[in-house]
Amino acid sequence: MQTIGRYVVEGEAGRGSSGIVFRARDPIIGRIVAIKQIRLDDVADPTERQRIHERLFREAQSAGSLSHPGIVTVYDIQEERGSAFIFMEYVEGQTLEMLLPRKQLSPEQIRSILEQTATALDYAHGKGIIHRDIKPANLMVTPQGIVKIMDFGVARMQSQNTTHTGTLLGTPTYMAPEQIQGKPADARADQFSLGVLAYEMLTGNTPYKTDSVPALLFQIVTQPTPPARQFNPSLSATLEAALTRVLSKDPDARFENCSTFVRALSGDFHAVAHQVEQSLPTMAFLPVQIAPDYGPAFVRKQPPAPPEPSPSRFGLFAIILSIASVVALAVAAFTYFGTQPAPVVQAEQLPPLAIPESPKPSPEAVLPPLQESPVEKPEPRKPTVVEPFDIGVVEYAVRLITAPVGAKIVMDSGSPICTSPCSLTLPSGRHTFSASLSGHQSAYRIFQVPDQTELTVTLEKTFGKLSVITTPAGSEIAVDGVVKTERTPAMLTLPSGKHLIRITLAGHDPKEKEIEIHEGDLSEFRITW
């Protein structure tokens, strides 16, 4: 049974350009999680690999701080066997990338997807976190119609990851012009990507499409956006104007936020819905309405009323007969009541209505003014002061262990706090943890207190190369007192750190030298006897 960290892998959930997504189970609390693997061993430069390590941890830490029903939750992150593993909320459903080619989205469902995505993006932007890679593959749609954004925080590292030759990975169809130009990207870049999604769902085409990545980049940065009504004539001028604005090359010309953009679309959305709906069949799954706290969901459409049946000959005859019967009854009633005299009530039969006069009050009946009697006023009661009950911050003792011991521990991006193994008192909530030790890869974790009060991390060693050359060749090599099977010239792979190298050749005095091996570096020890 394969395990990644403490999680038991139950199967493969999907594959992508950056690695594999596994379905796994947390044996401690029984929770099902998704584990996304990001391969790091393909990066040959150790400095670049370490930079990716640190950036990945920072981004996952940011994503872990997001708590929104429209964003997939990040639980943990760790590195193992040359890969980074992101532990996330497991969501059943289909990505928008799977749904779009099938044209299974009704206008109401398109609007719901845009509204939910905009709400989640605005929440993240309010926390100062930008996704930077909004695209159909990163939007998961559940069978209940709930939209969840995936890869928050991780997406930036993947979308901007480059090979050692500097080649951009992936097709930037949904990237904003400022991202392609290498300028700082903010919330308006995510808004641009959301605009490309809206354009594609409403027209069936992306704004820019070429066979060449360089040509695509050139179009996004320099060419005007093709009119949306060129692909879908049923769209209103107002709706097309909103799409043109959100896809502006100038970030300042876009909307205030993502929700404002979607509201600009929704104003004219119903006007074209009945025209678009004829060419877009209903989705395969049944949408349901959910609580307001979870954002707008797909609206269940009411089934059309059945057509009224056309009347038959017998039905027409019955209708005519009924009308004739009603007319006959009306004539008979008029004839009967018209011949009867109406009763007359004589006015003299009614007795006169007697209204008694109100008696006038006599002067003697006037009451004297009321004399106030002295009343002793009670002393005011002093208000009871209730002291507020201060429960304080609940803290827990957390044990931190590394193998090997002696690693420097940093909590929540602060200064080094202790050297493992050590115990700390931490408040309840989510915390970040990093451990670093010379000659080993740094380890990063995200954990929850009090769910986890003991954390054990195994630090993997880093390696470098040592070239040993002697003249003449054939010398014996010993590293830290252990004789190697190789003879000079030899290329040794050694753990990072200091090593004592001893070279022996018959008829000559042994030679020793302490050499420090650095991760990914090539060192050399050359001797001429």
The whole-number pLDDT of residue 84 equals 82
Q: What is the mean pLDDT of residues 155-177?
A: 54
Going by pLDDT thresholds of 50, 70 and 90, the confidence category of residue 378 is: low
Number of Cβ within a 10 Å radius of residue 260:
15
Between CA 82 and CA 19 the distance in angstroms is 12
Query: In which band, very low, low, confident or very high, does the pLDDT at 51 lie, cut at 50, 70 and 90?
Result: confident
DSSP for 101-141, please give it: GGT---HHHHHHHHHHHHHHHHHHHHTT-------GGGEEE
Residues 277, 283, 288, 290, Cα dihedral to 10° = -90
- Which residue reads 């992936």 in tokens? 170
Residue 390 known to be catalytic: no
Distances (CA, A) of 439 to 40, 82, 525: 18, 15, 20
| CA-angle at 427, arms to 410 and 442, nearest 5° | 20
pLDDT exceeds 80 at position 419: yes
**Residue 329 reports pLDDT greater than 70:** no
- pLDDT at residue 390 greater than cutoff 70: no
DSSP code at position 193: H
**Which residue segments constitute the domains of the chain, with CATH numbers given?**
3-89 (3.30.200.20), 94-294 (1.10.510.10), 395-458 (2.60.40.1120), 463-528 (2.60.40.1120)
Looking at mean pLDDT, say which of 163-172, 450-459, 503-512 comes out highest. 503-512
Residue 500 has pLDDT above 90, yes or no: yes
Report helix, strand or coil for 54.
helix
Of 41, 42, 45, 133, which one is the catalytic site residue? 133
- Which of 137, 187, 165 lies closest to 18 in space, CA to CA? 137
Q: What is the mean pLDDT of residues 34-48?
A: 76
Confidence bin at 77 (pLDDT 50/70/90): confident
Does residue 27 register a pLDDT over 70?
yes
Residue 410 CB contacts under 8 Å (≥ 6 apart), including other chains: 416, 417, 433, 434, 435, 436
Distance CA 525, CA 529 (A): 13
Is the predicted pLDDT of residue 422 greater than 80, yes or no?
yes
Q: Is the pLDDT at 179 greater than 80, yes or no? A: yes
The pLDDT of residue 212 is: 81
Q: In Å, how far are 177, 384, 390 from 387, measured between CA atoms?
A: 58, 10, 9
Residue 271 has a CB neighbour count (10 Å cut-off) of: 13
Q: Which two tokens stand for residue 106?
A: 């009704």
| Other beta carbons within 10 Å of 206 | 14
Mean pLDDT of all residues belonging to the chain: 75
Q: What b-and-e string marks burial along 235-257, b requiring 16 or more CB atoms within 10 Å of the CB?
A: beeebbebbbebbbbebeebbeb
Residue (of 63, 246, 47, 298) closest to 158 by Cα position? 63
Q: Please check the confidence at residue 289 and state whether its pLDDT lies above 70.
A: no
State the Cα–Cα distance between residues 6 and 11, nearest whole angstrom.
15
Is the pLDDT higher at 393 or at 349? 393
Q: Can you tell me the distance from the alpha carbon of 292 to that of 17, in angstroms, rounded to the nearest whole number?
A: 36
**Which residue type, as a one-letter code, is found at position 75?**
Y
pLDDT at 96: 93
- Average pLDDT on 312-321 reads 47
User: Per residue in 187-207, pLDDT tens?
Assistant: 999 999 999 999 999 999 999
Among 496, 482, 487, CA closest to 469: 487
* Terminal Cα distance for the chain, rounded: 54
Distance (Å) of CA 332 to CA 327, 329, 339, 431? 9, 5, 11, 91
| Residue 520, Ramachandran bin (φ over 0: left; ψ between -120 and 50: alpha; else beta) | left
Cβ atoms < 10 Å from Cβ of 461:
14
Residue 376 pLDDT greater than 60, yes or no: no
**Cα gap 77→99, rounded to integer Å:** 30
pLDDT at position 256 over 90: yes
pLDDT of 374 > 80? The answer is no
Number of C-beta neighbours around residue 77 at 10 A = 27
pLDDT tens, residue by residue, 298-312: 333 334 444 444 444
* Rounded mean pLDDT, 490-511: 91
377's CB contacts (< 8 A; 6+ apart) are: none
Residue 274's contacts (CB-CB under 8 Å, 6 or more residues apart) are none
Instruction: Tell me the C-alpha distance between 493 and 520, whole Å.
Output: 10
Q: How confident is the model at residue 356 (pLDDT cuts 50, 70, 90)?
A: very low
- CA dist., res. 463 & res. 380, Å (int): 83
Across the range 167-182, mean pLDDT stands at 75
21 pLDDT more than 70: yes
Residue 237: φ, ψ to 5°: -65, -35
